[in-house]
Chain A
């Protein structure tokens, strides 16, 4: 069973590779490269997989999930300029994909529990763009092997 909890944060960022020229950055990122930055209302959806406890009827206590999202994501990132105030975005370009991966990294160690596992982190940068980071799916890997062998 999948349980999804949502959180929101607003932050500014700029997408630029310092070693590249203005023209190259614009080619890569479009307006996202404008040097002084801009902001988004990020929406985060975190999905956990597990079976409901036979007594409580819950996969896990959602209050705990809420607290972890607060501590790991909302508190450090909300109303911040990601490039200047949140590691590792002083050295890693804060694209939606990198922010989603960083959120996965932060949450993975907090949801280390035999009863459930982190299944998906979905981060909306805008309503028209989102990134999914998915748990490595063994079945999928096997299928890929099969396809490559065929």
Chain B
């Protein structure tokens, strides 16, 4: 089995807040991340695709194809945005990076051209150097996470 991972960067702001909870509860739950005006991160998105290496070209996927998919279906929506205000999905759902990673995985799964040999295997979103969130897609969902991103630095 061979997979290939490409990294992308985007900056966005968010506020972690659940409207159905009280001010105190939100504060206890989210701490600084609940600050009313929001705050931002330089997110690092890693997209992993799995598949056969083409015998002639030596490629699993053409980088330009994946770049275009990610640019059109993900980065154009989230880059330099206020996630709570600018991304419809997060009007009702709190934009934790867990939810952001699932959202991005869903966007890519839906946009994935059926004719592509390579399959989407994993989406990893690094919020800061100290925390990253990973969603496994398709058959990889059942794979034990024995291959964490090595850039996750545990402080």
Q: Quick check: which of B33-41, B54-62, B101-109 contacts chain A, the rest being far away?
A: B54-62
- Contact assessment for A143 and B142 in the assembled complex, using a CB-CB cutoff below 8 Å: yes
Given contacts A30-B63, A97-B53, contact A129 B146 (CB under 8 A): no
Which residues of B are found within 8 Å of A119, using beta-carbon distances? Answer: 146
- Contact assessment for B3 and A132 in the assembled complex, using a CB-CB cutoff below 8 Å: yes
Binary interface profile of B, 1-29, with partner A (CB < 8 Å = 1, else 0)? 11111111000000000000000000000
| Interface residue from A2, A101, A132, A139 paired with B142 (Cβ < 8 Å) | A139
Given contacts A30-B63, A120-B147, contact A134 B53 (CB under 8 A): no
Is B143 positioned at the interface, with any CB of A under 8 Å from its CB?
Answer: yes
- Contact assessment for B7 and A128 in the assembled complex, using a CB-CB cutoff below 8 Å: yes
- Contact assessment for A133 and B4 in the assembled complex, using a CB-CB cutoff below 8 Å: no
Is A137 positioned at the interface, with any CB of B under 8 Å from its CB?
Answer: yes
| Interface residue from A2, A130, A144 paired with B146 (Cβ < 8 Å) | A2
Query: Once the chains are docked, how many angstroms separate the CA of A2 from the CA of B150?
Result: 13
Is B139 positioned at the interface, with any CB of A under 8 Å from its CB?
Answer: yes
Give the contacts of B91-143 with A (CB-CB under 8 A): 139-140, 142-143
- Contact assessment for B139 and A28 in the assembled complex, using a CB-CB cutoff below 8 Å: no
- Contact assessment for A130 and B1 in the assembled complex, using a CB-CB cutoff below 8 Å: no
Most buried by B among A95, A101, A143: A95
Is B155 positioned at the interface, with any CB of A under 8 Å from its CB?
Answer: no
Which residues of B are found within 8 Å of A122, using beta-carbon distances? Answer: 147, 150
Q: Distance in Å from the Cβ of A94 to the closest Cβ of chain B?
A: 7
Query: Once the chains are docked, how many angstroms separate the CA of A93 from the CA of B60?
Result: 13
Measured CB to CB, the nearest residue on chain B to A142 is B142
Which residues of B are found within 8 Å of A144, using beta-carbon distances? Answer: 139
Measured CB to CB, the nearest residue on chain B to A32 is B63
What is the interface size of chain A, counting residues whose CB is below 8 A from a CB of the partner? Answer: 38
Is A56 positioned at the interface, with any CB of B under 8 Å from its CB?
Answer: no
Is B88 positioned at the interface, with any CB of A under 8 Å from its CB?
Answer: no
**28 A–B pairs (Cβ distance < 8 Å), ordered by A:** A17-B57, A27-B62, A29-B57, A30-B63, A47-B147, A92-B58, A93-B57, A96-B4, A97-B2, A97-B58, A101-B53, A120-B146, A122-B147, A128-B7, A129-B4, A130-B5, A132-B2, A132-B3, A132-B4, A133-B1, A135-B1, A137-B1, A137-B143, A139-B143, A139-B144, A140-B139, A143-B143, A147-B139
Please name 19 further chain A to chain B contacts, defined as beta carbons within 8 Å, in addition to the given A120-B147, A132-B5, A140-B143, sorted by A numbering.
A4-B150, A15-B58, A30-B63, A45-B150, A95-B58, A95-B59, A122-B147, A122-B150, A129-B5, A129-B7, A131-B4, A131-B60, A132-B2, A137-B1, A139-B142, A139-B144, A140-B139, A143-B139, A147-B139
Footprint of B on A, CB under 8 Å? 2, 4, 15, 17, 27-30, 45, 47, 92-98, 100-101, 119-120, 122, 127-137, 139-140, 143-144, 147
